[in-house]
């Protein structure tokens, strides 16, 4: 569905992670929008989202965290 994080890296250098955006756009949109209420109302998903965005090593942005939870 195109909801994978793609990392630009070469050799020993680790690059930034981006959402790949490959696959079906509508399915990607529906999955993304379904995760927002889950994060807002479900404690387990909220804690995971908070962990991904606030970890000290390689923190994800908000959207990247939502994609990782999908």
Residue 7's DSSP bridge partners are 17
59 is in which domain, residue-wise? 5-69
Torsion sign across C-alpha atoms 33, 30, 70, 1: negative
Domain count, the chain: 1
Distance CA 60, CA 16 (A): 10
Label residue 6 by pLDDT band (50, 70, 90): confident
What digits encode the pLDDT tens for the residues 8-56?
777 777 777 777 777 788 888 888 899 999 999 999 999 999 999 999 9
Please say if the pLDDT value at position 67 is more than 90: no
């Amino acid at each position: 569905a195109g909801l994978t994080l793609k990392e630009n890296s070469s050799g020993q250098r680790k690059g930034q992670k981006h959402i790949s955006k490959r696959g079906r756009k509508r399915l990607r949109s529906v999955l993304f929008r379904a995760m927002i209420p889950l994060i807002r109302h479900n404690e387990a998903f909220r804690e995971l989202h908070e962990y991904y965005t606030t970890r000290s090593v390689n923190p994800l942005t908000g959207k990247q965290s939502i994609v990782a939870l999908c």
